[in-house]
Amino acid sequence: MIIEINKDNYEAIVQQNEKPVLLDFYATWCGPCNAFFPTIEKLAEEFYDTAIIAKVCLDEEFKFNQDIGIQFGVISIPSVVILNKGEIVGTKMTGIKSKEEYRSILSKLL
């Protein structure tokens, strides 16, 4: 299951979660973001019980989410940040990467 991050669940899902968290920053109007969505869906299916796969919509009406994007230094989308116990693991990944790259990182955290 993919979790949509918002101001009500951000703290519990992203900052206080014991599981690794993959955050996919996207916008609904972004073609590459939409092309990347099937990869995110597959990761969510594969890691459904061991990691959190979440999306952060940066569309204009989501001011809180835009602030999250700024906090994580997102300047282009799609961007992915992986966290472990609230701390960023590795570097932010921009653009479309393979499922295997994300799987490798998440697997090492488990």
CATH number for the domain including 20?
3.40.30.10
Distance CA 24, CA 4 (A): 10
Give the predicted TM-score (pTM) of the model.
Answer: 0.92
Stretch 54-63: mean pLDDT = 92
Q: How much helix, strand and coil, in percent to the nearest 5, is found in the chain? A: 40, 25, 40
3-class secondary-structure state, position 51: coil
Find the catalytic residue in 5, 22, 33, 68.
33
- Under the banding of pLDDT at 50, 70 and 90, the label for residue 60 is confident
Could you give the number of structural domains in the chain? 1
Its domain, for residue 55, covers 2-109
Q: Is 33 a residue of the active site?
A: yes
Residue 63 C-alpha from the chain's centroid: 17
| pLDDT at residue 11, rounded to an integer | 92
Q: Is 57 a residue of the active site?
A: no
Find the catalytic residue in 3, 30, 93, 109.
30
Query: Which positions ≥6 away from 71 have C-beta within 8 Å?
Result: none
